[in-house]
Structure 1
Amino acid sequence: MADLFPDTLPEDAPPDAPRPDAPLADRLRPRALDEIVGQEHLTGADGAIGRMVAAGKLSSMILWGPPGTGKTSIARLLADAVAMRFVAISAVFSGVADLKKAFAEADKAAEAGQRTLLFVDEIHRFNRAQQDGFLPFVERGTVTLVGATTENPSFELNAALLSRAQVLILHRLDAEALGRLLDKAEALEGALPLTADARAALIASADGDGRFLLNQAETLYSAGIDTPLGPGELGSFLQRRVAVYDKDREGHYNLISAWHKSLRGSDPQAALYYMARMLVAGEDPLFVLRRLVRAAVEDIGLADPQALAQCLAAKDAYEFLGSPEGELAIVQACLYCAAAPKSNAVYKAQKAAWRSAKETGSLMPPASILNAPTKLMKAIGYGKDYAYDHDAEGGFSGADYWPEELAPQAYYQPVERGFEREVRKRLNYWDKRRRELRGEQ
């Protein structure tokens, strides 16, 4: 009987062909750049990589993109496309000794007329000193560096290294690209045991990660399922990919930014979506509440003073109820803030007042409003002629409270929205009364 899983490859198999028992993702690994799915903006004829291959010359580059989008495959195929020696190392498992060995071998290869493409996976995991170690070898052309990272290179890589490499951004695979990957899998292994709706659900569950999708497909093939599964049955059988959300990395800050800007832009639906993304991924609800409080005072302010009260009440409710019931209070505060009229007048007033305080130093307030707890202070005029506003007609004296060396300022400028419209009327009233009491027009 023939061996269904031979340990050796057929004699006519390509040198880099995967073993027949290799994982499905390896067996479907692209053999040419035009087989890369979902990154045509780079690999196509008009893309950065396509142009470099057409010219037969590569520059060093950093491939930045989510997991499972083809970074390693692109690096391997680049070397083949321009007939370069391919060397791969991982920053997770490699140290200085491995780098020195790779550079020494590249030097010898260069002497023999062979160029080297050095692929460094997870390059952001090398520390700054190790990253600096690449510079002389990249500069003199010993290696063409192709680094792969899931983290923002602006934050994780040295400026000196970035200045010597192009940053190329790989896109998260969309539903169409993931569907093409499944088509390839089915051409090799046969139809998946799924209904059309379940197939769409499988694609959605991958969250843009092609490798994860193929691993899920392989699990389905291995299970020997006779009757096609529907979406509900598929959900019970397989797990969704956990969303990428590192609390100290770029994904975290991207969602915070999107959420805060949605709040500021008065889009309650988008604000709720981004907040849900954070909380579902495991963000601390108290962190979310702190950000809501900030939005309430920075972007709403006195346009709706109740926004701050709603946020603080949500904090109390969450601490009282816990999850998941307490999260309803967070949702209420989020929707309230997003729907509220917006004003950054308080925020701008704070910035202007702080700047003025730093610039004016130690100017003395008018003597009339200084504290006079001792006889000496009273003798030198502290508190003299202070106008007690409650004794004045209308409860307003119109006194000048500014230092003599500083003209009255107007830090706070209420907008014509929400409650601040009423605040503006009040300020205008007091300004008019002040001018009348001082005999000004």
Structure 2
Amino acid sequence: MADLFASDSPAPTISESAPLAERLRPQSLDQVIGQEHLTGPEGAIGRMVAAGRLSSLVLWGPPGTGKTTIARLLADAVGLRFAPVSAVFSGVADLKKIFAEAREHARMGQRTLLFVDEIHRFNRAQQDSFLPYVEDGTVVLVGATTENPSFELNAALLSRAQVLILNRLDATALGKMVARAEETEGRELPLTANAREALIASADGDGRFLLNQVETLFSIAIPEPLEPGQLAALLHRRMAVYDKDREGHYNLISALHKSLRGSDPQAALYYMARMLTAGEQPLYVLRRLVRFASEDIGLADPQALVQCLAAKDAYDFLGSPEGELAIVQACLYLATAPKSNAAYKAQKAAFRSAKDTGSLSPPKTILNAPTRLMKDIGYGKGYAYDHDAEDAFSGEDYWPEEMGAQTFYEPSPRGFEAKLAERLAYWDRLRAERRGE
């Protein structure tokens, strides 16, 4: 899949009838737009080219940011044969053929840059097949991926390749591409200034998508410059990059969770909207909100969990889009509620203690005795019924003798937990008094 970028001059061998994006393809690394942190003199790629030596690389970045283009230009810059392969369309047989050809060229003194597009789509065994050819220098491997290499690539492969991160193209970089397209066509886009900004924003950082939209506009007879609304009616906006089972998914849910925890309702709404407008299942978002209500609010505001479950019921009842307003309400409630992770910490501590202490028996005084034998050995003997005691509080010791009393839950001084802290302190005082401590 080619990456498309503006260049200072069209390639002389490219036909004038070729697609606009092809005519704008860079002819050298210094013409690549938006990745100067890598291709500049001080960048990792710039330094490699200056030294004339290229190590294996993994280019990680969003779609349409220049991964394929950079790989092709790298091969030219250091005099390597360029051999592209796509992990989407290739299998083991294709790889064997490529490696054999690379060995043959190596014998003739010609090294090969093996470019693997969508490298994360190869399975673990296929990724392992690269290792001996990378190690013996048969190929210089350059992989391209839109997914986090830490999750998608073998550790052995990552240890032999440098990961370089390509930036999402910003408005300035995309604006340069549009200007170069206008220069190549010899005319300006039929857009007002606001529509031009809207066109650039609609690309969502994807240069390939932007140039395709630009070419569409040039191909249509438009008598008067379009306003943003007219542009939107003419062109489809690019859907945000969001794979529900990949890193973008987890990044956005993490951002939502952190914004809620930080009591920023505006940011929380933004990230929730990002997920829902990109096609995330509303019930998944609701499950995360329910979890947040217990983990980060808990008893500081017991209504938080109620609000989330009510939002789930409302969405089930109304469906989309009406039910999404209930999700928004729950999100706002969580972001503005007092925060406490006391219940979360208590769970961790209690579960850890339960695992550590094994099968200790509770004190016999609080065990039921449904049989004569159990009564004879002391089950239930001496149990103090709390409702018979003053203040309905006996101060009984409920802990295993071998363990002693523990403290797992310590309420925060925020929200409803401030009142709970007062209750616990009151009961602690009564307990001490009634035990004569």
1:227 to 207, 224, 227: 224
User: Is residue 169–residue 207 contact of structure 2 (8 Å, CA) maintained in 1?
Assistant: yes
Report the Cα distance in structure 2 between the residues aligned to 1:408 and 1:21, rounded to whole angstroms. 83
1:416 to 413, 417, 422: 413
Q: Aligned letter for 1:168?
A: L
Aligned to 1:348: 345
1:253 to 228, 250, 266: 250
Report the Cα distance in structure 2 between the residues aligned to 1:22 and 1:379, rounded to whole angstroms. 97
Q: Aligned letter for 1:376?
A: L
Aligned to 1:80: 76
Deviation (angstroms), 1:226:
2.1
Q: What is the percent sequence identity of the aligned residues?
A: 76
User: Is residue 412–residue 418 contact of structure 2 (8 Å, CA) maintained in 1?
Assistant: yes
User: Is residue 11–residue 23 contact of structure 2 (8 Å, CA) maintained in 1?
Assistant: no
Structure 2 runs not aligned, ≥5 long: 1-8
Aligned to 1:357: 354
Deviation (angstroms), 1:227:
1.2
Report the Cα distance in structure 2 between the residues aligned to 1:92 and 1:388, rounded to whole angstroms. 70
User: Is residue 11–residue 27 contact of structure 2 (8 Å, CA) maintained in 1?
Assistant: no
Aligned to 1:35: 31
Aligned to 1:117: 113
User: For 1:374-417, what per-residue CA distance to the aligned partner results, in whole angstroms no more than 9, with x for missing partners?
Assistant: 11111111000100000001111111110000110000011111
1:153 to 144, 149, 155: 149
Deviation (angstroms), 1:281:
0.9
Partner of 1:147, secondary structure, is: strand
User: Is residue 57–residue 161 contact of structure 2 (8 Å, CA) maintained in 1?
Assistant: yes
Aligned to 1:8: none
Partner of 2:398, secondary structure, is: coil
2:203 to 200, 203, 206: 206
TM-score (norm 1): 0.95
Deviation (angstroms), 1:16:
7.8
Residues 380-391 of structure 1: pairs in structure 2 closer than 5 A: 380-391=377-388
Partner of 2:287, secondary structure, is: helix
TM-score (norm 2): 0.96
User: For 1:347-377, what per-residue CA distance to the aligned partner results, in whole angstroms no more than 9, with x for missing partners?
Assistant: 0000110111111111111111001111111
Deviation (angstroms), 1:109:
1.4
2:176 to 177, 180, 186: 180
Aligned to 1:9: none
User: For 1:170-205, what per-residue CA distance to the aligned partner results, in whole angstroms no more than 9, with x for missing partners?
Assistant: 111010100011011011012111111100000000
Q: Aligned letter for 2:170?
A: D
Deviation (angstroms), 1:30:
0.7
Partner of 2:83, secondary structure, is: strand
Report runs of 4+ in structure 1 exceeding 3 Å deviation.
13-17
Q: Verify: 1:301 aligned to 2:306, yes or no.
A: no
Aligned to 2:85: 89
Partner of 2:134, secondary structure, is: helix
Aligned to 1:282: 279
Residues 239 and 383 of structure 1: CA distance in aligned 2, closer, same or farther (over 3 Å): same
How many pairs align? 428
2:236 to 221, 224, 239: 239
Report the Cα distance in structure 1 between the residues aligned to 2:10 and 2:251, rounded to whole angstroms. 43
Aligned to 1:3: none
Deviation (angstroms), 1:94:
1.4
2:55 to 34, 45, 59: 59
User: Is residue 190–residue 222 contact of structure 2 (8 Å, CA) maintained in 1?
Assistant: yes
User: For 1:17-39, what per-residue CA distance to the aligned partner results, in whole angstroms no more than 9, with x for missing partners?
Assistant: 33322211111011111111111
Aligned to 1:165: 161
1:370 to 358, 363, 367: 367
Report the Cα distance in structure 2 between the residues aligned to 1:30 and 1:22, rounded to whole angstroms. 15
Aligned to 2:5: none
User: Is residue 342–residue 410 contact of structure 2 (8 Å, CA) maintained in 1?
Assistant: yes
1:19 to 8, 15, 21: 15
Report the Cα distance in structure 2 between the residues aligned to 1:193 and 1:171, rounded to whole angstroms. 29
Q: Aligned letter for 1:431?
A: D
Report the Cα distance in structure 2 between the residues aligned to 1:226 and 1:54, rounded to whole angstroms. 49
User: Is residue 10–residue 24 contact of structure 2 (8 Å, CA) maintained in 1?
Assistant: no
Aligned to 2:126: 130
Report the Cα distance in structure 1 between the residues aligned to 2:395 and 2:15, rounded to whole angstroms. 89
User: For 1:301-332, what per-residue CA distance to the aligned partner results, in whole angstroms no more than 9, with x for missing partners?
Assistant: 01111101111111111111111111111100
